[in-house]
Amino acid sequence: AQKVTQAQTEISVVEKEDVTLDCVYETRDTTYYLFWYKQPPSGELVFLIRRNSFDEQNEISGRYSWNFQKSTSSFNFTITASQVVDSAVYFCALRDLDTGNQFYFGTGTSLTVIP
């Protein structure tokens, strides 16, 4: 079974619109970590955020915000007032005790922000 599901394959928005990227995960562990990475066209994955399973507080960093809900096993990512530079592929990842030292990545959501 897939541990991390990103159902949105591609999203296009017009600049300044808000956009939410969905991430649903699956784990039997009570202790786990969730991550979001950004992959711009250059290819390098850029770390955005890490959350542990005991901290459900939502987080905001500038135009970025994350909504962690254990009840629905979701860790969604919202970009407010999107910009062209936000165009990239975004990956959600899970690391839990079952996986040992492995990350499990979703298949990514390709975001295009149209000027």
Partner 1 sequence: DGGITQSPKYLFRKEGQNVTLSCEQNLNHDAMYWYRQDPGQGLRLIYYSQIVNDFQKGDIAEGYSVSREKKESFPLTVTSAQKNPTAFYLCASSIGAGQETQYFGPGTRLLVL
Is the CB of 83 or the CB of 102 nearer to partner 1? Answer: 102
Is residue 101 within the footprint of partner 1 (CB under 8 A)? Answer: yes
Determine which residue in the list 35, 68, 75, 90 makes contact with partner 1, applying CB under 8 A. Answer: 35
Least spacing, CB of residue 81 vs partner 1, in Å: 27
**CA 7, chain centre distance (Å):** 12
Quick one: tokens of 19? Answer: 């956009």
Is residue 4 within the footprint of partner 1 (CB under 8 A)? Answer: yes
Is the CB of 10 or the CB of 15 nearer to partner 1? Answer: 10
Is the CB of 65 or the CB of 104 nearer to partner 1? Answer: 104
Tell me which residue of 67, 28, 72, 29 sits closest to 51, measured CA to CA.
Answer: 67
Is residue 43 within the footprint of partner 1 (CB under 8 A)? Answer: yes
Q: Extract long-range pairs of 11-14: CB within 8 Å, 24+ residues apart.
A: 11/109, 11/110, 11/111, 11/112, 12/111, 12/112, 12/113, 12/114, 13/82, 13/111, 13/112, 13/113, 13/114, 14/113, 14/114
Residue span 52-91 as binding mask against partner 1, x where in contact by CB under 8 A, dash where not: x--------------------------------------x
